[in-house]
């Protein structure tokens, strides 16, 4: 294309995209008007108005995120039909809803990502726009259909991967590659495992798959939302903007430690304890720990009933316990069965003694009256309630697990390993979360407490409605006594019933807020990142959260650090979804340049010889280096690195032992990426437990441009390929 032709084409494209933005602004104004009207509360119930407000707010958010990079490309077919590709779909309402902009997830947009020179997908040309704000700066064309043509998007892709990193992960909607697009659009209703080495984009592919599923299955998925589980809060913050940037907000982000609402993790387990807590063998331990709290008395427990001295004996309690256990009910709900048997025995024995001293004591009506009186007496008897609490207490998960951990005797009785003993039984760790969650089901609900809470809530609602009615009476009285032309009161806008209805509590939180706070919430789809770290017990929690078993599982077995984590995807998943899980791998490294990946690959070959490192798509021209320093020199050299990187664009990190100023552990950088990385004391990282090599592999593969290694001892042999610097370098 000549320079003049290019400039004319550029002006044309700028005009087309400007029209798209004008239509976007008009749609945004329309939705904003509907949102404002919903806020005024005209018509419908309070709940209906709140739904309308949330719906319009969500639509406004979707339109707002589309403002950034609204249109990023164009496809020209062999029939000279043009299709513009962007973040959302825009249609011409005056021309039978002709598509002016295709949503990137629409089937018609797929050739933009998968067409190649060899397989052009009936396309003649692919055009990629480069924009600054709302203005197209330039475009690049790729002519398709030539046998010698290269894979699409090389220029755009390399520009993206070479760009300085920011604070958060960016979406790849404009540069999705063929193997990534195949996974994003895969039609599979069960569990999809996406495995890939560092830098292959497995996380961002999983997030784009969520956006695609929400687009294609909106009605099915929207009411329940999507759960994304990541390894740590920093990682979730890093990836947190990707889905909102694609217009999706019905997503809950959690770590494994957040899966039980209200629990606060304050401690950390050693690797051996993590392994034991993560094993399914803990199911037997938990069941035994609960059973141990279902007791029979060593000595009979006295109960006064109807003026007679009764006792709860061991044989009666044993009968009641067996009946309660055989009911199949959770512990707290089975207490009613236990209490029923004890009550039956005590009242029958009391009746027999009382009836002997009553004229006509054998009369059925008399016995029924007496029995009713005895039952009422027992219900209010504190000694009887205390006896039930001793033999079959109402328990919480925290009661059971804290009591187990802090007692050598209880650990022994439950068949648990002594390593689980700790001084503070309630110092919760991430590994305790699945155990506590399991206990929620083992124990069941305290229905009596729930009924009391429900009655209290009903009384509160009634009081609020009565208060609202009083307010309306006062407002109406004041309005009637004044000139209508001079005064405007709340009654001019809403009626008494309307105001009273607003005092009745209803849930105004959005889906993500409600789901995150509700342990009983079930999701339509779950994404699990760094899934190789999850234990068998962790998977039980997640399967409970998603009864439909619709998962996108992301991980790399070679990077597993946890002693309780996966060594095989099949071993973890087959018990839950036999024959319903699919495996896909990503083989291309878009993040780590070849110079750095060569160093990491040498380490991988040493600790995981069967692992295959991903192939880097680029070189950066900067060789990674190492430098030996003394312990005294180390702080100054680290400070020098931080100072130098502060003057560059992008991000940097120091990874190393906690005593190094400003350093973070390798585990905290999983899934993250930085322009520059300084790894300190790799020999100490290797020595940190059996999975130290995996941690060092993670540390080495975080950099997108520059990697340096400082060592105070001998450099590990696997890193011998690093260029050694001296202090003057």
For residues 344 and 375, give the distance between their C-alpha atoms in angstroms, rounded to a whole number.
9
CATH of the domain at 715: 3.40.50.300
- Residue 533, in any domain of the structure: no
Q: Which domain holds residue 143?
A: 3-149
What total of structural domains would you count in the chain? Answer: 3
Q: Facing residues of 139 across strands?
A: 129
Q: Three-state DSSP class for 680?
A: strand
DSSP labels, 330-347: -HHHHHHHHHHHHHHHHH
The reply to whether 291 and 433 lie within a common domain is yes
Domain boundary (89, 117, 149) is at 149
Q: Is 198 annotated as a binding residue?
A: yes
Q: Is 203 annotated as a binding residue?
A: yes
Q: Facing residues of 526 across strands?
A: 227, 551
Backbone angles phi, psi at 130, to 5 degrees: -120, 115
Q: Facing residues of 102 across strands?
A: 85
- Residue 606, in any domain of the structure: yes
Token digits for 439? 């206990």
The reply to whether 145 and 277 lie within a common domain is no
Q: Is 343 annotated as a binding residue?
A: no
- Residue 622, in any domain of the structure: yes
The reply to whether 420 and 280 lie within a common domain is yes
For residues 681 and 684, give the distance between their C-alpha atoms in angstroms, rounded to a whole number.
5
Q: Buried b / exposed e across 42-66, counting CB within 10 Å, b at 16+?
A: eeeebeebbebbbebbbbeebbebb
- Residue 139, in any domain of the structure: yes
- Residue 278, in any domain of the structure: yes
**If 0-12 CB within 10 Å is exposed, 13-18 middle and 19+ buried, where does residue 192 land?**
buried
Write down the pTM of the prediction: 0.79
Find the angle CA(598)-CA(602)-CA(604) to the nearest 5 degrees.
110
Q: pLDDT at position 504, please? A: 45
Q: pLDDT at position 642, please? A: 94
**If 0-12 CB within 10 Å is exposed, 13-18 middle and 19+ buried, where does residue 329 land?**
middle
Q: Is 230 annotated as a binding residue?
A: no
Q: Is 197 annotated as a binding residue?
A: yes
- Residue 659, in any domain of the structure: yes
Domain boundary (130, 149, 168) is at 149
- Residue 192, in any domain of the structure: no
Regions of the chain where pLDDT drops below 70: 1, 42-44, 118, 145-172, 357-362, 448-457, 460-508, 689-690, 727-729
Q: pLDDT at position 474, please? A: 65
Ramachandran category for residue 238: left, alpha or beta (phi over 0 → left; psi -120 to 50 → alpha): alpha
Domain boundary (149, 170, 192) is at 149
Q: pLDDT at position 153, please? A: 45
Q: Is 166 annotated as a binding residue?
A: no
The reply to whether 139 and 282 lie within a common domain is no
Q: Is 200 annotated as a binding residue?
A: yes
Q: Is 201 annotated as a binding residue?
A: yes
Residue corresponding to tokens 């078993």: 549
- Residue 229, in any domain of the structure: no
């Amino acid at each position: 294309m000549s320079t003049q032709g290019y400039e004319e084409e550029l002006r044309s494209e700028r005009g087309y995209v400007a029209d798209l933005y004008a239509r976007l602004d008009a749609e945004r104004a329309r939705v904003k008007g509907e949102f404002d009207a919903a806020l005024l509360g005209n018509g419908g119930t309070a709940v209906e108005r709140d739904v309308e407000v949330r719906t319009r707010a969500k639509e406004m958010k979707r339109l707002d995120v589309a403002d950034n990079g609204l249109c990023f490309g164009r496809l020209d077919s062999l029939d000279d039909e043009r299709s513009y590709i962007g973040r959302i779909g825009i249609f011409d309402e005056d021309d039978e809803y002709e598509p002016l902009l295709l949503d990137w997830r629409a089937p018609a947009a797929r050739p933009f990502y998968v067409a190649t020179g060899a397989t052009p997908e009936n396309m003649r040309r692919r055009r990629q726009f480069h924009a600054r704000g709302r203005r197209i700066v330039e475009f690049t064309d790729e002519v398709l259909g030539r046998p010698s043509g290269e894979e699409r998007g090389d220029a755009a892709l390399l520009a993206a991967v070479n760009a300085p990193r920011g604070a958060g992960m960016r979406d790849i909607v404009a540069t999705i590659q063929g193997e990534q697009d195949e996974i994003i659009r895969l039609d599979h209703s069960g569990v999809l495992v996406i495995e890939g080495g560092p830098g292959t984009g497995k996380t961002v592919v999983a997030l784009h798959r969520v956006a695609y599923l929400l687009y294609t299955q909106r009605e099915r998925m929207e009411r329940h939302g999507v759960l994304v589980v990541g390894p740590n809060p920093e990682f979730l913050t890093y990836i947190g903007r990707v889905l909102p940037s694609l217009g999706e907000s019905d997503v809950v982000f959690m770590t494994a430690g957040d899966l039980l609402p209200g629990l606060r993790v304050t401690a950390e387990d050693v690797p051996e304890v993590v392994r034991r807590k993560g094993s399914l063998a803990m199911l037997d331990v938990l069941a035994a720990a609960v059973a141990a709290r279902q007791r029979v008395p060593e000595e009979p427990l006295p109960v006064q009933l109807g003026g007679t001295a009764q006792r709860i004996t061991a044989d009666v309690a044993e009968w009641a316990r067996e009946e309660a256990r055989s009911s199949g009910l959770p512990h707290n709900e089975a207490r009613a069965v236990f209490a029923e048997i004890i009550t039956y025995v005590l009242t029958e024995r009391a009746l027999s003694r009382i009836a002997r001293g009553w004229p006509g004591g054998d009369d059925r009506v008399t016995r029924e009256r007496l029995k009713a009186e005895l039952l009422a007496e027992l219900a209010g008897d504190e000694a009887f309630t205390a006896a039930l609490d001793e033999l079959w207490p109402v328990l919480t998960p925290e009661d059971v697990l804290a009591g187990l951990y802090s007692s050598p005797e209880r650990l022994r009785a439950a068949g648990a390993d002594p390593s689980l003993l700790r001084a503070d039984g309630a110092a919760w760790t991430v590994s305790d979360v699945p155990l506590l969650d399991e206990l929620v089901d083992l124990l069941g609900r305290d229905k009596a407490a729930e009924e009391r809470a429900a009655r209290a809530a009903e009384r509160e609602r009634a009081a609020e409605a009565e208060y609202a009615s009083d307010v309306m009476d006062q407002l109406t009285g004041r309005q009637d006594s004044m000139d209508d032309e001079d005064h405007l009161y709340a009654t001019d806008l809403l009626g008494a019933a309307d105001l009273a209805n607003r005092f009745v509590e209803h849930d105004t939180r959005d889906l993500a807020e409600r789901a995150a706070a509700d342990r009983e919430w079930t999701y339509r789809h779950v994404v699990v990142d760094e899934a190789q770290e999850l234990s068998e017990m962790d998977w039980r929690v997640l399967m409970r959260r998603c009864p439909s078993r619709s998962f996108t599982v992301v991980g790399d077995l070679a990077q597993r650090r946890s002693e309780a984590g996966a060594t095989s995807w099949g071993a973890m998943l087959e018990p839950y979804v036999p024959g319903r899980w699919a495996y896909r791998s990503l083989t291309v490294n878009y993040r780590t340049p070849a110079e750095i990946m060569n160093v990491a690959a040498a380490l991988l070959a040493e600790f995981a010889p069967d692992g295959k490192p991903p192939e880097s798509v680029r070189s950066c021209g900067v060789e990674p280096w190492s430098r030996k320093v003394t312990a005294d020199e180390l702080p100054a050299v680290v400070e020098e690195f931080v100072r130098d990187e502060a003057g560059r664009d992008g991000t940097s990190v120091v990874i190393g032992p906690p005593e190094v100023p400003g350093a973070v552990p390798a585990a905290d950088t999983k899934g993250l990426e930085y322009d520059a990385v300084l790894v300190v004391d790799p020999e100490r990282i290797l020595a940190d437990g059996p999975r130290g090599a995996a941690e060092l592999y993670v540390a080495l593969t975080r950099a997108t441009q520059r990697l340096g290694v400082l060592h105070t001892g001998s450099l590990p042999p696997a890193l011998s390929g690093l260029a050694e610097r001296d202090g003057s370098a």
